Amino acid sequence: MAQESSINTASRRTRILNNHLVQYPSKPTSCLQSNSCLSYTPPESTESFGFDIKEMRKIVDFHNLEDRDWLFGVIKQGRVFNGKERGGRLFVSPDYNQTMEQQREMTMKRIEYLLERGAFDGWLTKKGVEAELKKLSLLEVIQIFDHSLSVKIGVHFFLWGGAIQFMGTKRHHDKWLRDTETYAMKGCFSMTELGHGSNVRGIETVTTYDSKTGEFVINTPCESAQKYWIGGAANHATHTIVFSQLKINGVNEGVHAFIAQIRDVNGNILPNICIADCGHKTGLNGVDNGRIWFDNLRIPRENLLNLVADVSPDGQYLSAIKDPDQRFAAFLAPLTSGRVTIATSAIYSSKIGLAIAIRYALSRRAFSMTPNGPEVLLLDYPSHQRRLLPLLAKSYAMSFGGNYLKMLYVNRTPESAKTLHVVSSAFKAIFTWHNMRTLQECREACGGQGLKTENRVGHMKGEFDVQSTFEGDNNVLMQQVSKALLSEYVAAKKKNKPFKGLGLEHMNGPVPVIQPNLTSTTLRSSQFQMNAHCLRERDLLNRFAAEISLYQSNGESKERAFILSYQLAEDLGRAFSDRAILQTFLDTESNVSAGPLKNVLGLLRSMYALICLEEDAAFLRYGYLSTDNAAAVRKEVTKLCRELRPHALALVSSLGIPDAFLSPIAFNWIDANSWSSAQQ
């Protein structure tokens, strides 16, 4: 009996283990039983549009809407863009499950696909404002699809091509621009080194001139001089712009730019050049970043980009600009395009995140307010509104700032170069910081769904994080902004002339006065909002100048004094940026006729202005706002959230981003995660 019982027990355990370990096939429909469960309700069925979203899109996207829509269509139709159906909808997005090598090759295939369809026609060979705006609009569409793709294209056209276009002369234009536009050759941009990033003047690559052969000789004298993070160098680039110290007859003439070929037509690395891969990154793995060493690489004398300076055949250094500082500034002035495109792409990235998170919050419910009552939409929670709607208002404001920046860029003149440098530096820093903060908040607002790569938001954090440091570290850029403002301040005081330029004309008027008890009407007044921002900028500029002067009077050098005043410098940089963005918002708003659209813009502008007041401690630190007024500002922001809530869907629907470029959780997230969807 005991033996029989033992056999039965062993048999039963075997059956249980077998049931655990062996999965018997079943029909997909048998996994779920018909039951009363949550269902997806499209927000369009319950939310109304209180203004014309097509008209709002015209204001936000600003230019080349037809060109944008054409390229959106090209991407949606191309198989190389990895379109997949989820929840009955088509979505296009790179396959991030691919290896780094596969992602890089797909990036190149997508470039070839776009090239064949004429996407790059005229990017370097056509001139004028319309051609430049079209190029900028198409690049923005490309980055909405994939940041790696836009960066690789941007390096080729805006950095390599832009250097030839704006730092070279006719001999370079005739030889290189057409072949760049057709990708007959592939360019990269070798400025950054292992030992020097933001400090371009300190780079260690050295170029000398051999008058006997009429050649420049480029060398990497030490490991810290290796060119680093060079987009396109690891796999595909055939040519590069080399930034190097130029030494003529033993005299260092400073940083200059040279054209060098690094691969032959078959992709083989040329002699006297070593290239290594930078390896896997936290994002942008579709870009083949590489490292480059030069060992007595000889290039023709004509390969010096010579708009600012040249070397004669017999080795004489020639430049109309004798001052080394002015010459260096002239070299770098044409390179502002990088900061312009980064700033605008950061705003489109934040808009993608917000469109996804807000659409999800308009269909996802959690918890009930009453026993057995219906669960509440996420966006109906005041706390959720507070998380997302101020960021949405900021993104709108920065869109208008970005449009202003683009127009400043395409209409640039030698006289506007300083303004372009300062504004592009400020906006690049502020916009990219805003983007990273926005993506993090959107990721959290989507809960666990925000972690899925297919839902974009979480993954985009890694893709766009680099923007905070490339084309200039944001903190360094903000200090450059403050240094430029200080120069204007010193010049105006020294010459006893009024301020003119950089929006500092408000410094010529009386000091704005903030009322002791701010009402809702006052807080929403554009006059009060601008006065508050001007008061902060004005006071911080005065404080900054005074602190610099005090350090200098105590024996510190001007540069040392500036370094010691970094906190005021960064506060001032933000104050300048916020005020400049608010001004672009007011300018945009002034061009809209009275009606629902203008009313909503007024709400967004008030939200932007007041959230800047609430978030910057300077308003309390330096007494621009009393504690009571600061509390009133906070209360008003909460009221604005309630008033913007009914417009949330319309506002994200006005951003010009097609559904296919969002993600499954922005739409029917239940069908997208169904069992039948999992079987596809």
As a whole number of angstroms, the distance between CA 255 and CA 244 comes to: 5
Centre a 10 Å sphere on the Cβ of residue 674 and count the other Cβ atoms it contains: 17
| Residue 10 to residue 4: CA distance in whole angstroms | 10
d(CA 383, CA 351): 20
Tokens 């469960």, located at residue:
37
- Closest C-alpha to 484, from 420, 397, 414, 388: 420
Each residue of 98-130: pLDDT tens digit? 999 999 999 999 999 999 999 999 999 999 999
Maximum alpha-carbon separation in the chain: 113
The Cα–Cα gap between 572 and 566 comes to 10
* Contacts (Cβ under 8 Å, ≥6 apart) of 395: 347, 350, 351, 354, 434, 438
DSSP 8-state assignment for residue 175: I
Task: Give pLDDT, residue 198.
Answer: 86
Mean pLDDT calculated for residue range 447-475: 95
Residue 543: φ, ψ to 5°: -65, -40
Question: For residue range 348-363, what is the model confidence (pLDDT) as tens digits?
Answer: 999 999 999 999 999 9
Structure tokens at 597: 């659209």
pLDDT tens digit string along 547-564?
999 999 999 999 999 999
Lookup: tokens for 339: 């900061």
3-state secondary structure of 216: strand
**Stated pTM of the model:** 0.93
DSSP string over 117-142: TTTTTTTTT--SHHHHHHHHHHHHHH
Establish how many alpha carbons lie within 13 A of residue 239's alpha carbon, considering only the half-sphere containing its beta carbon: 25
Helix axes of 147-154 and 457-464: crossing angle, nearest 10 degrees: 20
Residue 142 has pLDDT above 50, yes or no: yes
Residues contacting 54, CB < 8 A, separation 6+: 654
Q: What is the pLDDT of residues 81-96, one digit of tens each?
A: 999 999 899 999 999 9
Give catalytic status of residue 116 as yes or no: no
**Which pLDDT score, from 0 to 100, does residue 25 have?**
45
pLDDT in the model for residue 27: 46
Confidence of residue 376 (pLDDT cuts 50, 70, 90): very high
pLDDT at residue number 159: 96
User: What ranges do the domains of the chain cover?
Assistant: 186-335
d(CA 265, CA 285): 24
Q: What's the alpha-carbon Rg for the chain, to the nearest Å?
A: 29
Element (H, E) at 639: helix 627-644
- Coil/strand/helix, residue 246: strand
Residues 6+ apart with CB under 8 A from 306: 168, 169
Cα 306 from Cα 209, distance rounded (Å): 14
Average pLDDT over residues 594-616: 98
Q: Report the DSSP pairing between strands 89-92 and 227-231.
A: unpaired
Average pLDDT over residues 365-374: 91
More confident residue, 97 or 34: 97
Whether the per-residue pLDDT at 241 is higher than 60: the answer is: yes
User: CA distances (Å), 398 to each of 391, 435, 478, 662, in order?
Assistant: 10, 10, 17, 20
Q: What is the 3-state secondary structure (H, E, C) of 2-39?
A: HHHHHHHHHHHHHHHHHHHHCCCCCCHHHHCCCCCCCC
Q: Which residue among 204, 471, 614, 636 is the active-site one?
A: 471
Predicted confidence (pLDDT) at residue 80 exceeds the cutoff of 60: yes
H-assigned helices in 333-416: 337-361, 382-410
Contact (CB, 8 A) for 464 and 439 = yes
CATH code for the structural domain at 186-335: 2.40.110.10
